[in-house]
Amino acid sequence: MKNTVITLLIFFSAFHISAKEGMWIPLLLEKYNFSEMQQMGFKLSPQDIYDANHSSMKDAVVIFGRGCTGELISNEGLLITNHHCGFGQIQSHSSVEHDYLTNGFWAMDKSEELANKGLTVSFLEYMEDVTEKIMEGTDALEGEAKANKIKGNTDKVNSDASENGKYKTAVKPLFYGNQYFLYVYKVYKDIRLVGAPPSAIGKFGGDTDNWMWPRHTGDFSIFRIYADKNNEPAEYSEDNVPFQPKKFFPVSMKGVQEGDFTMVFGNPGSTTQYWPHQAVDITMNQRNPDRIALRDKKLEIIGADMDADPKVRIQYAAKYAGISNSWKKWQGESKGLKRLNAVNTKLEFEKEFKNWAEQNGSWESTYKPVFENFESQYANYAKYIKASDYYSEVVFRGVEVFRNARLINTIINNIENKQNEKVESLRSAALGGLSAFFKDYQQSTDEKLFAALLPMLVDGLSPEFLPEELVEMVNKSDGEKLLDKVFRKSILTDEMKLRKVLESGSEKQLLKLRKDPVVALFNQLNFKYEADISSVVAKVSDEITEGMKVYMAGLMEMKKGQSFYPDANLTLRVAYGKVEAYEPKDGVEYKYYTTLSGIMEKDNPAIYDYDVPERLKELYTAKDFGRYEVNGDVPVCFSASNHTTGGNSGSPVVNGNGELIGVNFDRCWEGTMSDIMFDPERCRNISLDIRYALFLIDKFAGAGYLLDEMEIVY
């Protein structure tokens, strides 16, 4: 009985306001959260956080790129985010001759800032509850007819809000479709790199320290947003001028103390707090182990080649970091879920839900069919998502040359369908991407991935999910023979040959590429995936979502009067908590902060990720800390109890006065299961202390002119 009570308490934490848990919609803070925030130390108003008609904090926060957050820190468009969020841009500008990854980069005036093709930042103009508009005319409809009506309504809402393309819009379902919100963004496209510390600072500790506390990582980079002369979005131009924001964050030199109020304001990507037990079981016992094993092999191969060749290290730095990040997170997530006895915790709560539904007479008619369907749906889902995970890790995110095969395959399909305009557009796009692909491509590394991953695909999946030709080929050939038969006979690894065909090849010549062995193999794999795997995953996922919509409505009714936060979906949210230490396991107790002294203790010139730059050692030895000194040291990072996830990388961490005290960049490994189940004792977010960023900009990089743009508060 005692264990049952404990597990229920853990699960119930998802259904009440907690100082530590929740990713809240800023538009609704006054209704649900503001009183508690005040009690914890927040001194401003809800309108200071979000106001659609006047400047507020939301105007200083952006979606950076495709999935991070950034924040404005000057009235000249200066933006700070994480080093790992800007890593791809830093890497793209790097070469053996100009190794900005190793040495860092700092523009000493605006003329030295580096443009970044394709990088955007998105400002939220406003959000709006559009549930009634989306559901209009759907009461009498079911199934496909209802889905089509919802889609039509959604398209209209998006179209109206976009104002003929002036804004980017998104209607997103909350609570599995029980509510819909519209998000309207203004997107800026001229974003320039201003500064980034060396990776030995910005990525200090590398994958060893990733997701871990204590951290000593200076995980930040600086960019600047440019606009046209009217302060509106524009493509890159030398005539563009620094963007003038409606709002930017004052930067605090006051520091943090344990128990201080903290708020993280960003764009968390995805959480699944309300999953039933079957989904947790599949993730913990199937999906995570499968994906970890496949990434083990990828990291082993790429890591060895990076260690052996400085050129490969630069080429594959961003790729390796991307593979490693989720790989390590999944390990911590599974460990945390097991510690919380997550599957049984969910089962116990589902029993409570059943009792509630039986008491009000809704179980048999409304909820029992949903739970019965979950049993069969998740059994089917487990089978097909396993195949999907393998294809994702091997075919679509593993063997690199398959990316070129996908491009060629798409061009050929459009030739066969007589889509001439599309063919020319695709040719142009493919040609435009070739240089970038081959700049960061090493054929020998990809050969090793090909030889190792294809046998893992065949061994890991049932034959029904595999092309017969592949199974036969892998079973009859070792890795070297496989390479000779397929990989080394392809032109897709030869930039010059591929460029020539794409530039001047006739349609007939392009169609002949169907016979290229890599293109042919990819086509077989892709056809099998689309015909027999992805379509089933999508269908079953839709069925599960329909059931979750009913279940979620029941949960909201069961807990009526209590506040709910919707799962994260890469939209603006507020998380609040306090500066807080923690105990990761029995007998271990951590402080809430780290310092420059800790960096020096970890210094190891023999290890790339721990090789502290000489300039930083000089500053430390001389105790040349300037105004950033605290008790004879420099603060580096701090931990707090804000509920964060992917997408919160780069988010501003502010104090009760709305002043920037840190930049969020990670979570503690023991708490990475917080996407699925939150544990207030172990879940901590990790932030860069903004004073360390200022110290590095000023004393280390000598770019103190950037601080002159900021409003620094003492």
Could you give the residue numbers annotated as active site? 84, 219, 649
Q: How many residues does the chain have?
A: 714
Q: Helix, strand, or coil here: 251? A: strand
What is the token pair recorded at 380? 């089917």
CA–CA separation, 158 and 134 (whole Å): 11
From the list 690, 698, 689, 687, the residue with the least C-alpha distance to 625 is 698
Q: What are phi and psi of 164, to 5 degrees?
A: 60, 40
Task: Please enumerate in sequence order all residues whose Cβ is within 8 A of that of 146, keeping only pairs 6 or more positions apart, or say none.
Answer: 138
CA–CA separation, 576 and 562 (whole Å): 18
CA–CA separation, 560 and 3 (whole Å): 26
Q: Which conformational region is residue 137 in: left (phi greater than 0), alpha (psi within -120 to 50 degrees), or beta?
A: left
Stated as kind and residue range, the H or E segment containing 543 is: helix 535-558
* Identity of the residue numbered 331: Q
CA dihedral over 634, 620, 652, 668, signed as positive or negative:
negative
Q: Is residue 283 within 8 Å of residue 676, measured between CB atoms?
A: yes
Encode 21-39: b = buried (16+ Cβ within 10 Å), e = exposed.
Answer: bbbbbbbbbeebbbeebee
From the list 659, 664, 707, 667, the residue with the least C-alpha distance to 688 is 664
CA–CA separation, 389 and 386 (whole Å): 5
Task: Please enumerate in sequence order all residues whose Cβ is within 8 A of that of 590, keeping only pairs 6 or more positions apart, or say none.
Answer: 213, 214, 581, 582, 583, 584, 639
Q: Is residue 272 within 8 Å of residue 338, measured between CB atoms?
A: no
Give strand pairing partners of 72.
Answer: 79
CA–CA separation, 158 and 17 (whole Å): 32
Task: Please enumerate in sequence order all residues whose Cβ is within 8 A of that of 394, keeping only pairs 6 or more positions apart, or say none.
Answer: 294, 453, 454, 456, 457
Task: Please enumerate in sequence order all residues whose Cβ is within 8 A of that of 600, keeping only pairs 6 or more positions apart, or say none.
Answer: 612, 617, 620
Nearest-10 crossing angle of helices 342-359, 310-339: 50
Q: Helix, strand, or coil here: 318? A: helix
CA–CA separation, 485 and 488 (whole Å): 7
Give strand pairing partners of 123.
Answer: 62, 186
**What is the distance of C-alpha 535 from the center of its chain?**
25
* Identity of the residue numbered 85: C
DSSP symbol at 229? T
Stated as kind and residue range, the H or E segment containing 64 is: strand 61-64
CA–CA separation, 564 and 24 (whole Å): 8
Task: Please enumerate in sequence order all residues whose Cβ is within 8 A of that of 530, keeping only pairs 6 or more positions apart, or say none.
Answer: none
* Identity of the residue numbered 508: K
